[in-house]
Structure 1
Amino acid sequence: MIYTLYHVHDPMCSWCYAFKPTLDELRKNLKDNIKLVHVVGGLAKHSNEDMPLNQQEMISNIWYEIEAKVGTKFNHDFWKNCKPRRSTYLSCQATMLARYDNKEDEMIEAIQEAYYLKAMNPSDSSTLVQLAKQIGMDEVKFEKDLHSEKIEKDLMDELNLRRSINVRSFPSLVLKYKKETYPINIQFGDYKAMLAQIEDMIENTYF
């Protein structure tokens, strides 16, 4: 029997960035019949408007909270060097385009590193094109596809998938077998607890 483990995330979600090391360990220890599948969640629609200052302050404070609770490092110069926008759909589309080129994990990591460590803005297409080139994609084709109707439709389909498995927060993990789904309790820094929950569900026939 083959099981799907959906990892629902947004490449510009700070808690998803903090969860990545634990997710990587979980993935390494999954049995061969469990396939991890990334699903982009779409935190914020396309926007060219500057993020309001109170929202910038709120998100900046979340970064400090994550540093204190999880130990994840952030480059807080982002808030001084960039013009933040509440807009993540484009980075979601970039992640999906990289998936079609078998470079999804590389793009997720590149976006997170650019955003959180290099104080670059993944809401800007120029940043995403630069990252596509960095991970070995055709930058001209990538830039064209990034703004295509097809990738926008593909993103809407993926958001519908996210809704169909009842996910409203990121990161989330959902185990699926046939038509049945079951949420996994997210544990930052403790992949073994999540692995045990997954294996217990499968062994005790929750599906």
Structure 2
Amino acid sequence: MSKETARLYHVYDPMCAWCWGYKPTWLQLESALKDKLEIVYLVGGLAPDSDIPMPMEMRSQIASYWNKIESLLGTQFNHEFWTSNTPRRSTYPACRAMLSARLQGAEKQMLTAIQHAYYLQARNPSDVSTLIELAREIELNVEQFERDLGSAEINQALMQELRFARSIGGNSFPSLFVVKGESVSELPINYQDAEVTLNQIDHVLGKI
């Protein structure tokens, strides 16, 4: 193996229910790999900006995904979200919040805050007001966060990150890729067994 650093890219969206379902296994994986290779988070941009209320058919479809994930993985969801909010198919604001928090070294804290707000507390991360509340709750510099969140620079950074994620094959979430030099290897997502993925990563690293 050359001295060039191998990276594990974790492509996620903070409002992706399957990413929430994967989180316990991902955290095991991340803990086991933190000294082995560089781990890089990439936001996925599941749904662009929209002020249009989500159609009832789409609400029912996404709610059914929650039920499926709950049944398959035992993931906890607060289904009151669907009756206590006006859902919109819009995750770009939450993705910008991730990049804004990253500037303050708090991307992972913000991810957890958004997921808990959305899936456990029935709060809507499509709303900028919710994102600012979460920044306050995790003790970010709120003025800086709010300024960054609405900035052209953060929006440009989001577009660049989405393009890069797509360029390596990150079109669904969660996705995992081992990248070293020109070599890009996608890993199948095992939602319940981190050991399977660890073995796959060892195999990939042994070949590049």
Gaps of 5+ in 1: none
Q: TM-score, normalised by structure 1?
A: 0.97
Quote the residue 1:78 is aligned against.
81
In structure 2, what is the Cα distance between the partners aligned to 1:151 and 1:189? 34
Shift of residue 33, structure 1, vs aligned partner: 3.5
1:187 aligns with 2:190: yes
In structure 1, what is the Cα distance between the partners aligned to 2:197 and 2:185? 12
Quote the residue 1:104 is aligned against.
107
Question: For 1:90, what is the secondary structure of its paired residue?
Answer: helix
User: Stretches of 4+ moved more than 3 A in 1?
Assistant: none
| Alpha-carbon distance change, 11 to 31 in structure 1, aligned in 2, over 3 angstroms | closer
Greater alpha carbon shift after TM alignment, 73-82 vs 94-103: 94-103
Question: For 2:9, what is the secondary structure of its paired residue?
Answer: strand
Quote the residue 1:29 is aligned against.
32
Shift of residue 32, structure 1, vs aligned partner: 2.0
Please tell me the root mean square deviation across aligned C-alpha atoms, in Å: 0.9
1:131 aligns with 2:134: yes
* 1:12-23 matched pairs, under 5 angstroms: 12-23=15-26
For 1:162, which of 165, 181, 185 is the aligned residue?
Answer: 165
Quote the residue 1:7 is aligned against.
10
Q: TM-score, normalised by structure 2?
A: 0.96
Q: Which amino acid aligns with 1:139?
A: V
Quote the residue 2:145 is aligned against.
142
State the number of aligned residues. Answer: 205
In structure 2, what is the Cα distance between the partners aligned to 1:51 and 1:57? 10
Q: Which amino acid aligns with 1:183?
A: E
Q: Deviations over 1:82-113 (max 9, x none)?
A: 00000000000000111111101000000000
Greater alpha carbon shift after TM alignment, 89-98 vs 23-32: 23-32
Identity over aligned residues, as a percent? 44
